[in-house]
Amino acid sequence: MSGATSNLKSYEERIIRDRGICGGEPVFKGTRVTLPTVLASLAGGDSAGDILIDFPSLKAEDVQAAIAFAAASAEEDLPVPAVPYIR
């Protein structure tokens, strides 16, 4: 679990919000690539390699930061629905 702490720090250092960049959407530092764009690509089945080809301004650490952000967000905000009890 020690990786979780370093991933948390990683995403906080790599993902920023600035009203002057993409209207304040979260972006990867030094780019105009938004976090939702990368998360949508991952959810759509793109590999990290695919994303890095599509967005050459990103680094592998940026994709990992997006995953870490999503994991942390899910852990904090999204309830897991209860599975109905079936006899």
pLDDT digits (tens, 9 = 90+) for 29-84: 999 999 999 999 999 999 999 999 999 999 999 999 999 999 888 777 656 566 66
Domains along the chain?
2-73 (1.10.10.10)
pLDDT band at 11 (very low <50, low <70, confident <90, very high): confident
pTM for the model: 0.77
Report helix, strand or coil for 67: helix
